[in-house]
Structure 1
């Protein structure tokens, strides 16, 4: 293992995440590892909006990291969930502002200049700024290696006519990027699952072009590291040798304490006391990430399905789900189940998933949540909503076999009976728990000294140190 020598403190890197919670969390976990384990100096650049959210909820944990911020180009009060508008604004504003930050640091600290830019793979413009300024650069892909492999394949999909110039699939079919990789449905290509603007097709076109430009930017990087493990995705890493796994980052000895989640919302820690009162391996944990939206009918079916399961549950419901007609229903539902279940606005997820009372994770299957569930050996019930979540569901259900799908009925609703029956099935089939625990052991071993991810991280750190010279 590389020793934490004084020479490492001389390496100064600039880290640039995409302004979304899952992306920020992943790059903060990497940053914490580089600072605590290897003594590397880090300046972490968020957008102003994200910076304010992180500092309110997480500022006490980041004394060793220099946090700075730049504008995202949107006005106060504008929604950052309008991905098309946010993407165009970031592309317009970030490059110039980021170059200014680097120049100011380098002029002020002539003996401690930025020697390397480590940017989120969705922030290709940051990599191009580094190239323009003659600075070494590396990319971090916070999602699965399979999702990045799909991004690399977009030009081929366009050439073969599988998608049109807007990214819309020409037919509903399944494809294999390579024989041993998980199947992918064209209807679930994630750039076609991003529409939050009034003009969904325009948003889709913007996101597709962003992915094309980002993959071109990745070609000018020295490294593309991925928050995954070879044991999780061997075929995907074989598909693109440029990608190297260094994760799961949260499973490392420095990060596994569960205190490195930069939540954008206040966490309700009372749920941990409630979990202490439940039997081991008994609680269903339900959370759907930062974007999922429910109408009243689907919300009612989910609530009633949980009630029918007759199992204790911890349900995370964000503020903007719990409004209007949803609010009245949820208030009545919560009053009816004072001990059977608990509803909170946001939870300390890593601590929840590591709690011995948790039996199952009903999840939207975002990659961070997927990794957190796998690292804690928890079986899944899968409820993907958009983007790469359907691909992650395929891993969970078909490849790793640690969970089950929740299927919609003819009306596009996941019914209360489907929810009840799948909860019963995943809890009564001990094979799910056994496979989840086996997967947990493999991925934790990957980040231990001598493991595949640990070796890659050591090589990456060596490169960072040499970039100073």
Structure 2
């Protein structure tokens, strides 16, 4: 029996799609060992219910990330440096332990593109390997173009922009501002270098593996896949099972909000969620709250712990009382089920790729509020290429005002073109994962390859 180790980068937006892939493999009779860091393992398993359909084939395990329990995992540079030093050796030990047990030896390692160090471990242990990129091809393109970007004098050897020159890979792919490169958003040199090292590693690892898979679809990024022909679309993984209970969350989902949605008319509710990483300062948080109030529309707002830079979330005076009749605030939501609910009119989102795909496969138009990394290219897809959403404009002080929020909400909801484009895109996305679709065929071929036994080394 094929036995795959699946290892994500330790962030919410990476863990969820890798678990979806692991579940798919287990349902196809592949034994899966899913490897989280110790901290994330505790978070995930606290909300994890192993489904009967896995037949005991998916096992959740952990290895240390090298940091002490009290250290802050949101410091990306520090976390990444610790991972690079600690986790390769620990993964190698895990593979050796499993293989020495003799019953179900590891036959393949599937690594998140941001955990590409695992590909080198696989090679060292004589195990075949594959990359799974949990985001769009457009977000992987900068990493695969690093050598060219350096040669053309756009970035230096640390990934820092030299020229303020928009990077255009193709007219049908989102252009990239140097300041929006995946590794250039973070603001401090330690983190920039760490994220740039991740990008360099995935570009190198892509040359070492037979498969580089991607949680996207031909019909979402046709030109990107034609340019980067080695990258194989197998998604959106969640699209073929979009109403199922999703696993891998770091926070407990509040399912009571679904009953609240039942009480609202069709296409009336604004759903607001910014993922697991976005931070607001107090002024911007208050402008968002007051913009929702000004809109006079029902809203479901996910305000997770630690969403603002202050120690506790503070709403504008009287906001909760004034909006109680039409607003619902939760700390974490079952997002796939929320977006599939008929009462949802639009999705005000940070445009992380998971959220983008969830909105796309449910035909929901977007209001885009990107925070970092690939979220800017995802916004470009939404606003300029797919045309199923709108972005916000900041004022002269760099803030998105309550009036801007109210105006864009009214525009998006009243102009039926956005909903029409969103429904058209939903159809295209779903066709790819249905039997006979390109992603369906690619995933089937990938699973067949996983099940092929690798020849023994001399």
Assess, with a 3 A threshold, how the Cα gap between structure 1 residues 258 and 333 changes in structure 2: closer, same or farther: farther
Distance 1:138 1:169 in 2: 31
Structure 2 match to 1:208: 196
Report the 3-state secondary structure (helix = DSSP H, G, I; strand = E; otherwise coil) of the residue aligned with 2:264. coil
1:192: how far off? 0.5
The 3-state SS of whatever aligns with 1:92 is helix
Q: Could you say if the C-alpha distance between residues 135 and 326 of structure 1 is closer, same or farther in structure 2, counting changes exceeding 3 Å? A: closer
Q: Is the 8 A contact 1:150 1:177 kept in 2?
A: no
Tell me what 2:421 maps to.
435
Query: Among residues 342, 348, 368, which one is paired with 1:382 in the alignment?
Result: 368
| Paired position in structure 2 for 1:55 | 45
Runs of 4+ in 1 over 3 A off after TM superposition: 59-64, 322-328
Work out whether residues 178 and 184 of structure 2, in 8 Å CA contact, stay in contact via their aligned partners in 1: no
8 A Cα contact 2:287 2:401, kept in partner = yes
Please name the residue that 1:35 is paired with. 26
* C-alpha contact 2:146 2:200 (8 A) present in aligned 1: yes
1:12 pairs with 2:3 = yes
Secondary structure of the equivalent of 1:77?
A: coil
Check whether the contact 1:299–1:326 (CA below 8 A) recurs between aligned residues.
no
Give 1:270-419 correspondences, 5 Å limit: 270-321=256-307, 324=310, 327-329=313-315, 332-419=318-405
Query: 146, 149, 158: which is aligned to 1:154?
Result: 146
CA RMSD of aligned residues (A): 1.5
What is aligned with 2:79?
A: 86
Give the deviation of 1:331 after TM superposition. 7.2
Aligned-partner Cα distance in 1 for 2:316–2:127: 52
Q: In 1, distance between residues paired with 2:206 and 2:10?
A: 19
In structure 2, distance between residues paired with 1:96 and 1:138? 19
**CA shift in 2, pair 1:341/1:66, >3 Å:** same
Aligned residues: 452
CA drift of 1:297 comes to 1.0
- In the TM superposition, residue 64 of structure 1 has moved relative to its aligned partner by 4.1
Find the counterpart in structure 2 of residue 184 from structure 1: 176
Distance 1:259 1:338 in 2: 28
C-alpha displacement at 1:193, in angstroms? 1.0
C-alpha distance in 2, partners of 1:78/1:139? 29
The one of 232, 247, 251 equivalent to 2:239 is: 251
TM, length-normalised to structure 2: 0.96
Q: Report deviation, 1:11.
A: 1.1
Structure 2 segments unaligned to the other structure (5+ residues): none
Q: What is aligned with 1:7?
A: none
TM-score (norm 1): 0.94
Partner SS, residue 437 of structure 1? helix
Bigger mean CA deviation after superposition, 220-229 or 291-300: 291-300
Please say if 1:264 is aligned against 2:256.
no
Change (3 A) 1:337 1:217: same
For residue 326 of structure 1, report the CA deviation from its aligned partner.
Answer: 6.1
Which of 213, 217, 227 aligns to 1:229? It is 217
Counterparts of 1:44 and 1:60, CA distance in 2: 12
Between the aligned partners of 1:279 and 1:225, the Cα distance in structure 2 is 40
Q: 1:19 aligns to what SS in structure 2?
A: coil
Query: Which of residues 230, 233, 239 is equivalent to 1:242?
Result: 230
SS state at 1:314 partner: strand
Shift of 1:60: 4.2
- Residue pair 1:22, 1:368 contacting (<8 A) in 2 also: yes
Contact kept? 2:280, 2:307, Cα under 8 Å = yes
- Per the TM alignment, residue 336 of structure 1 is displaced from its structure 2 partner at its CA by 2.0
Structure 1 residue runs of 5 or longer lacking an equivalent are 1-9
Alpha carbons 1:261, 1:348 under 8 Å: kept: no
> Does the 8 A contact of 1:268 with 1:348 survive in 2?
yes
Give yes or no for contact 1:136–1:467 (8 Å, CA) kept in 2. no
| Post-superposition offset of 1:185 | 1.4
Q: Take 1:148 and 1:391, find their aligned partners in 2: how far apart are those partners?
A: 11
Counterpart selection for 1:123 from 115, 120, 136: 115
Q: Distance in 2 between matches of 1:243 and 1:383?
A: 28
